């Protein structure tokens, strides 16, 4: 299982707000039944690595339209192979150390 942070940023929106486009990208995760958490700066997902790449591509493509002709998407992946990790377990690990 991999953890990934995906940030999709539409360029050239009519206003500074990009919430409508972000919601469009999140709908992809809902449709795919992915486990995710929204943060102020991106969306975290838990998935097999192949699914991470597949949904990241779908999220990226979903934002085009409504006058948007350019989208920047960043993907950060934590693919640990020595043990199973989840979003919850990583947070718990840090909190335990506080």
Q: What is the mean pLDDT of each run of 10 residues along the chain (98 residues)?
A: 96 93 96 96 96 97 91 97 92 95
pTM above 0.85, yes or no: yes
Q: How far apart are CA 34 and CA 45, in angstroms?
A: 7
Q: Which residues contact 18 (CB under 8 A, 6 or more apart)?
A: 9, 10
Q: What is the pLDDT of residue 11?
A: 95
Q: How far apart are CA 77 and CA 58, in angstroms?
A: 16
Region label for 31, one of left (φ > 0), alpha (ψ between -120 and 50) or beta (otherwise):
alpha
């Amino acid at each position: 299982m991999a953890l990934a942070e995906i940030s999709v940023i539409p360029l050239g929106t009519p206003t500074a707000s990009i919430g409508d486009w972000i919601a469009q990208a999140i709908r992809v995760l809902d449709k795919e039944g992915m486990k995710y958490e929204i943060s102020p700066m991106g969306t975290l997902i838990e998935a097999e690595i192949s699914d991470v790449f597949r949904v990241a591509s779908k999220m990226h493509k979903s934002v085009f339209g409504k006058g948007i002709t350019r989208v920047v998407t960043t993907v950060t992946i934590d693919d640990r192979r020595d043990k199973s990790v989840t979003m919850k377990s990583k947070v718990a690990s840090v909190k335990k150390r506080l």
